[in-house]
Every structure is written in C-alpha cells, then in structure tokens.
C-alpha cells in the first residue's frame, strides 16, 4: 500500500515537472484499516531514493458514512463493541433502523489530496 501511495505521489509530481516533493496530504478512510503512523513511516522509507526524500506527510482520517435505503438515514456508522470478545466491529447495518439495505458513502478513501512541490525554474527570475 505504501509503495502504491508513493508511486501515485511521484507520478503526479512528474506530471508537474517537480524537482522535489516537499509534502503530501493524504486522505485515509477509517475502513481501510490502515495505520496512519505505519503508512507514513513506510512511504518515507520507500521515498528515500526518490525526489520525495524527507517528505512531510499529513494524514486526514475520514469517517465511514452510510445511507440507508429503508429509512433514509445518512451519517456515521456504528462501531459495535462485542462484550464477549472485547472487539470493535464496524457494522454496516443502519444505525437508526437496523436495516441491511445500506450504501457506503465514505470511509474507504485512500487518496493523495495535494502535494507541495519544488518546480523547475520557469525562467526569468522570481515569479511576478
């Protein structure tokens, strides 16, 4: 996953003829079950031999949201706690009516939102 993210960053940077990638902002949905710290660590590790060396990464975590086909509820999901197992289970049933006809609106994002890059000098000194 970290490699794929870095590839996406480098591809976007190349499209803008970046000399260096200084920072990146990622949007990571909570249902991707990715650990932001681990992700940042590995992206930076893989980036060491690239123009994204020493990149600063900011992660925006996105909450999971559903829309219920039965009662029209639109909002966050419930994360159920099971008293027997002491686990946190993300439940996709409607938090209001318990219906199973739900559509996931968000929470699975894995997106490179923006990049701060150093571009090649466009010529003629500092920009106006």
Question: In the complex, which residues of this chain contact another protein (CB under 8 A)?
Answer: 1, 4-5, 8-9, 12, 16, 19, 22, 31-33, 80, 82, 85, 87, 89-93, 100, 109-122, 126-127
User: Of 37 and 124, which has the nearer Cβ to another protein?
Assistant: 124
Distance of CA 35 to the CA centre of its chain: 11
CB of residue 75 to another protein, shortest distance in Å: 18
- Residue 79 gets which letter from DSSP? E
User: Of 74 and 100, which has the nearer Cβ to another protein?
Assistant: 100
Query: Can you tell me the distance from the alpha carbon of 14 to that of 21, in angstroms, rounded to the nearest whole number?
Result: 10
- Say what angle helices 36-46 and 2-15 make with each other, to 10 degrees: 60
User: Of 9 and 40, which has the nearer Cβ to another protein?
Assistant: 9
Q: Which helix (H) or strand (E) holds 118?
A: strand 110-119
CB of residue 74 to another protein, shortest distance in Å: 19
């Amino acid at each position: 996953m970290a490699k794929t993210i870095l590839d996406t960053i480098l591809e976007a940077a190349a499209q803008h003829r970046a000399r260096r990638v200084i920072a990146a902002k990622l949007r990571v949905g909570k249902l991707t079950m990715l650990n932001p710290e681990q992700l940042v660590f590995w992206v930076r590790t893989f980036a060491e031999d690239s123009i994204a060396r020493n990149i600063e990464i900011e992660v925006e975590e996105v909450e999971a949201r559903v829309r219920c086909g039965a009662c029209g509820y639109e909002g966050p999901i419930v994360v159920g706690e099971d008293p027997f197992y002491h686990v946190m289970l993300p439940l996709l049933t409607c938090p209001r009516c318990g219906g199973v006809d739900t559509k996931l609106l968000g929470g699975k994002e894995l997106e490179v939102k923006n990049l701060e890059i150093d571009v090649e000098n466009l010529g003629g000194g500092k920009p106006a």
